[in-house]
């Protein structure tokens, strides 16, 4: 079953993107692009 969660993505000064979510406590994902970061965040949220 799929569920919709809110994910906050911000660009860090180091040039990477960081994703967090208030809907999934402990969800933290980092990637080089917004797309990559979102994909990683989805995988983390599934676990």
| pTM exceeds 0.95 | no
What's residue 19's pLDDT? 98
pLDDT tens digits for 35-44? Answer: 999 999 999 9
> Taking the C-alpha atoms of 35, 23, 45 and 21 in order, what is their torsion angle to the nearest 10 degrees?
40
User: What's 4-34 look like in SS3?
Assistant: CCCCEEEECCCCCEEEECCCCCCCEEEECCH
Rounded CA gap, 5 and 10, in Å? 16
């Amino acid at each position: 079953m799929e569920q919709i969660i809110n994910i906050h993505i911000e660009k860090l000064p180091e040039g990477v993107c960081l994703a967090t979510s208030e809907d999934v406590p402990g969800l933290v994902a980092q990637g080089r692009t917004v797309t990559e970061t979102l994909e990683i965040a989805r995988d983390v949220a599934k676990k």
